[in-house]
Amino acid sequence: QVQLQESGPGLVKPSETLSLTCTVSGGSISGYYWNWIRQSPGKGLEWIGYIHYSGSTNYNPSLKSRVTTSIDTSKNQFSLRLKSVTAADTAVYYCARTSFDGNNYYLFDYWGQGTLVTVSS
Amino acid sequence: DIQMTQSPSSLSASVGDRVTITCRASQGIRNDLGWYQQKPGKAPKRLIYAASSLQSGVPSRFSGSGSGTEFTLTISSLQPEDFATYYCLQHNSYPYTFGQGTKLETK
C-alpha cells in the first residue's frame, strides 16, 4: 500500500522560506507526478504544483514566483520550498500522487495526512 | 483559471436519503473531473475519477455523472459514515482547481 508522509517545520517566520518534504513508501516514486496541495480556511483547497519523477514541473501561476520543488528518486522523496511567506500562507499542506497511463491522468489517488504550517513571528 | 462552482454549499440530510451534489465548470472540461470526500482532520479521499469511474474500494452507493460543464455526485442511500465535506476537482487545464466544497450534515 502506497503511503505518503509530509515532514517539516510547523512554524515559519514571515518573509522566510517554508520547506517541506514528502516521503513515499510502499511504492516507487518513479513513473508518477507528485503534487503539493494546501488548504486554508480562507481559500479552501489550492493546488500548488507538481514535479514529475523526471524532474519536470508545473506550478500554479498564483504561486509560481515563490515556489520551487525538487525530487530525490534514490530516497523516494520530493520537496517543496515556498519563499517570502506571509500569514496568508498558513495552511495544512498535503502531498499527493498523480498517475498517467499514456492517455489519461488520474489525480490524487494517494495523499499524505497533511501538515499544518503556521506563518507567525 | 477554470472556476468550479459547487451547489449547495451545505446540505442537511438523514440516513437513507438520496443526495445529489452539483459542480459546474466555467468552461468545458470534458470528463476531467474527480470527486473527493474529506472528514475533519483528514486528507481528502478520492471517490470518483474521470467524472463517473468509481475508485476501487469505494461503496457503490456513490456515483458520478456529467461531462463538459455540469457534473453530479450522487449518494443513493446515505450512511452515517458519509457525513463529510465533498469537493470536485478539475484537471482539464492548469492550474487544477477545486470547488469550494459541500458540507453534508445530519438533519
- Best probe of the B interface among A51, A108, A113, by most B CBs < 10 A, is A108
Spatial neighbors of A117 by CB under 8 A, at least 6 apart, are A8, A9, A10, A11, A12, A18, A20, A89, A90, A91, A92, A93
Q: What average pLDDT score do residues B38-49 get?
A: 96
**Least Cα separation, residue B93 to chain A (angstroms):** 11
| Interface with A, mutate which of B39, B85, B94, B96 (most A CBs under 10 A) | B96
Cell representation of residue A2: 502506497
- Predicted confidence at residue A43, as pLDDT, reads 72
CA distance B34 to B91: 8
Predicted pLDDT of residue A41: 77
pLDDT the model gives residue A102? 85
Is the pLDDT at A20 greater than 90, yes or no?
Answer: yes
Calculate mean pLDDT across residues B85-89. 98
Per-residue pLDDT averaged across B91-104, rounded? 97
Tell me, what's the pLDDT at A56? Answer: 96
Q: Give the nearest chain A residue to B34 (CA atoms).
A: A107
**Percentage of residues in chain B having pLDDT higher than 90:** 100
Shortest CA distance from A108: residue in chain B: B46
How many pairs of residues across A and B have Cβ atoms under 8 Å apart? 49
pLDDT in tens, A29-80: 999 999 999 999 767 899 999 999 999 999 999 999 999 999 999 999 999 9
Q: Are B92 and B8 within 8 A, CB to CB? A: no
Q: What is the per-residue pLDDT for A101? A: 87
- Candidates A34, A45, A98, partner chain B, best to mutate (most B CBs within 10 A): A45
Residues of B in contact with A97 (CB under 8 A): none
Per the prediction, chain A carries an average pLDDT of 95
Q: How many CB atoms lie within 10 A of CB B23?
A: 28
- For residue A28, give how far its alpha carbon lies from the nearest alpha carbon of chain B (Å): 20
Judged by CB atoms closer than 8 Å, whether chains meet at A46 and B50 is answered as: no
What residues contact B82, with CB distance under 8 A and at least 6 apart? B37, B61, B75, B104
Q: Residue B23's closest CA among B45, B51, B1? A: B51
Contact B96 A47 (CB under 8 A): yes
A13-42 mean pLDDT:
95
Q: Do B100 and A44 touch (CB under 8 A)?
A: yes
DSSP strand pairing (A11-12 vs A115-119) = parallel
